[in-house]
Amino acid sequence: MKESVGEKVSRNTVAWLQYVNTREEELTEKQKNINEGVMEMKMMNKDRPGICYSNISLIKKALLQNSENILPYHEILLYVKKNWTNLNSKADDIKGIVDLALYAPKSFFYEVDEGLWGIKDKTDARLNQIYNYMNPIKIPLKISDMKQRLRFYESEDMLKQLLLSDIRFSQIENTPFWILSEWIIINNFVYEYIFNSDLIGIDREKVVERVVQLNKLDKDKIIFLPLFDDRFSVIGNRVEIKRMMGINENSNVEQEVEVPVEINEEVGRLSYKIINFIKGSKEEVTTSQIVMNIFQITQNEPSFSIYSEAIKDLLDVVPEIKQVEAHKWTYSEDVTNLQIENRENVYYAVKNSTPTIKNLKELMDQVHPNSRHPINVTSNDTKKSDDKLYAYHTISYYDRVKGFFIIPKGLIEKSVLFRQNNHGKIMIQYEEFRYEWNWENNGHKYYFFGDGVMDFFADYLIEPGHKLSFAIDNQIMYLIRVHKVGFDERYASEQQRYLDIGRLVEESKSVNKSIFSLMCETLAIHPSGMHWSVLLDKIAEKRTTTKNTVTNLLSRNECFEQVEGKKGYWRLSISKLSRYYINEENQEIVEPVESGKKEENESLKVVRKEEFLELLESGVEENEPSDMDIKELQQLDTDILIQQIESKLMEITQEETKFKESISERVHANFINGNISAIEELYKSVEFNIKFYERVRLLAQERERKSEE
């Protein structure tokens, strides 16, 4: 029967109205999601299968890391980046995902303080019954299940809003099921265990028990959800994995991964653990093994590729480590490894630290002619020009933060100052200004350190990469002239800085530091910056402090500067690092000098006297001084210098008596105990001192004889 025109119009009208109603419902739902900040794009990535969360759920899980459930904005970004399964997402994509949830018109989150975010309603008492029901049974529930089992009379939409706004609940993406945010889903751990054990299947309870034991997990906080994960199939109590899925068979596929700077710095802080892990292995080590053993991240976790890329970038600049093939590393025995000596009395030297590197002699003697990477501790070379000796050293990030550096080898060979004792002070001239620098022989290597070094660094805004030249005149041995002669970009590179960060972390074992020093130390190993609240937490782990103290020190000292574009974040300005700082009461404080040896506190005049004594003994004839030398010498008061020498000779003579008495007591004690070898060792150790006192006594007698004449 042919349809009439009226019937056709009526039918089309009904169909159109149905379409319009359906479309309106879709648009309404879409607008509702936008208002709530729910991310609609799917997070599932077939290269990384597994359970994933919405952006709101991820932010809630991030906030759970903090006891007060508040985090800096950029910490939230980092957490989402590390747990976002779509690896192709760039930093701007992650920012958009997070901003959509935080800044939505009906967002569940709010800015608590400067750059700090929290959730508006942490917990809703109306949901306590649901929480108490779900927690012990460890089973995901749909909203309809909650209403039916627990007799909730609110509408499903109302209950969904309550769950979204409560930090205790998270929704499994692309499903109607909800779980507790505090639960740790162990699907990745289980998959790795079954895959690496070459099993086809295993009893569900047994595999959970083994995974918990191997990974030392809290059994009350874990949940295994194979039915929500495409990688698993479940037959009764038996669990099997689908090996064609996951990344194990696709590990050779190179994928460009964007690494956040915070993760590069985290890897840098653990650089020495990574190097020692490779060194301690008898076989080649894969990047996967490093990620899993050092960072406890399994191959199926979204952040695995990020950490793998960061580790590769780091190891590329370590001379000791060689890449034998893609993602495989080995330790080269013919390259000396840096060994850090951790001692309880090591202190953080924002100014005069003493080095604690055990094998510096090996490192300094090691030559890498074909290396394309600079080695932080070996940047010295020398040359002669115009009857002067020039030596060079390039300042590394480590040097600048610690406040000491290795003395160029040429200075040691040329100057008599470094031969008489193992420590002392010396005058450094830069342009028209002079500084006193401490020096010390520690482990057969010589170092400059002390207040004068830090003052010089701060006054001339010395940065990592600055190359310094050191010039000694043949006639004026007590004065060294320093110049900035260039800038080496390699030493200022991020990867070299990350290695230095690892060294700083290894040496940061001291106690009794000022709040200022602790802040400098913490920010030095987080060079991209840190939110003041996180910095406060880090400092509070070591010393009792307050928000006011930390924020006042940040705002009143020019070595701390705010990070542009990151609200509430501060960084350490290395070039302005100084031993002077303004405390919370607006008073200028000078960090006290800390020294391992009493003799290091002697004045510069002692160094000059020691040099003068050595010249008298050796009979070295001075060359004809230049006009500049004469000008320098005219600044000295000869009579005062002679008086000081005589006074010092008398002091040394008195010290000789005390020295001999001390040695006699030790010899007597060892002789009674029959420890002859200890006496022999004692003689060897003090032989130089005995000869020194002998020479001083002869000089004093000669001086007295000439005075009488």
**pLDDT tens-digit series, residues 18-55:** 544 554 554 455 455 545 555 443 333 334 556 778 88
Tokens read off for 305: 């590729």
Describe the crossing of helices 304-315 and 261-269 by its angle, rounded to 10 degrees. 60
Sorting pLDDT into bands at 50, 70 and 90, what band is 90?
Answer: confident
What are the DSSP calls for 377-414, one per residue?
A: T---EEEEETTEEEEEEEPPHHHHHHTEEEPPHHHHHH
The mean pLDDT value for 162-169 works out to 91
Q: For position 615, what pLDDT does the model report?
A: 41
Q: For position 87, what pLDDT does the model report?
A: 64
The mean pLDDT value for 278-291 works out to 91
CA pair distance 207, 129, nearest whole angstrom:
31
Residue 277 φ then ψ, to 5°: -65, -45
CA pair distance 405, 448, nearest whole angstrom:
6
The mean pLDDT value for 101-130 works out to 90
Q: For position 44, what pLDDT does the model report?
A: 36
Sorting pLDDT into bands at 50, 70 and 90, what band is 509?
Answer: low
Handedness of CA 80, 86, 92, 96 (dihedral sign): negative
Q: For position 549, what pLDDT does the model report?
A: 92
The better pLDDT of the pair 16, 203 is held by 203
Q: Which residues pair with 239 in a beta bridge?
A: 202, 234
Q: Is the pLDDT of residue 600 over 50?
A: no
The better pLDDT of the pair 144, 620 is held by 144
CA pair distance 572, 495, nearest whole angstrom:
18
Sorting pLDDT into bands at 50, 70 and 90, what band is 97?
Answer: confident
Residue 185 φ then ψ, to 5°: -80, 125
Tokens read off for 315: 């190891």
The mean pLDDT value for 55-80 works out to 91
**pLDDT tens-digit series, residues 447-466:** 898 888 989 999 999 999 89
Q: Is the pLDDT of residue 563 over 90?
A: yes
Percent of the chain with pLDDT over 90: 26
Tokens read off for 540: 């509070």
What are the DSSP calls for 282-319, one per residue?
A: SS-EEHHHHHHHHS---TTSTTHHHHHHHHHHHHTT-T
Q: Is the pLDDT of residue 99 over 60?
A: yes
Sorting pLDDT into bands at 50, 70 and 90, what band is 13?
Answer: low
Q: Is the pLDDT of residue 426 over 80?
A: yes
- Single-letter amino acid, residue 660: K
Q: For position 27, what pLDDT does the model report?
A: 45
The better pLDDT of the pair 321, 43 is held by 321
The better pLDDT of the pair 413, 105 is held by 105
User: Quick check: helix, strand or coil at residue 505?
Assistant: helix
Sorting pLDDT into bands at 50, 70 and 90, what band is 197?
Answer: confident
CA pair distance 73, 563, nearest whole angstrom:
13
Sorting pLDDT into bands at 50, 70 and 90, what band is 72?
Answer: very high
CA pair distance 93, 95, nearest whole angstrom:
5
Sorting pLDDT into bands at 50, 70 and 90, what band is 244?
Answer: low
Q: Is the pLDDT of residue 644 over 90?
A: no
Instruction: Flag the least confident range among 44-58, 115-129, 244-258, 303-317.
Output: 244-258
The better pLDDT of the pair 395, 606 is held by 395
Q: Given the DSSP bridges, would you call strands 177-180 and 169-171 parallel, antiparallel or unpaired?
A: antiparallel
The better pLDDT of the pair 360, 557 is held by 557
The better pLDDT of the pair 678, 369 is held by 678
- Single-letter amino acid, residue 579: R
The mean pLDDT value for 107-117 works out to 91
**pLDDT tens-digit series, residues 329-372:** 998 866 544 444 443 333 333 433 334 444 444 544 444 333 33
CA pair distance 287, 295, nearest whole angstrom:
11
Tokens read off for 539: 């400092």
Instruction: Output DSSP code: residue 684.
Output: H
**pLDDT tens-digit series, residues 588-598:** 888 754 443 33
Sorting pLDDT into bands at 50, 70 and 90, what band is 65?
Answer: confident
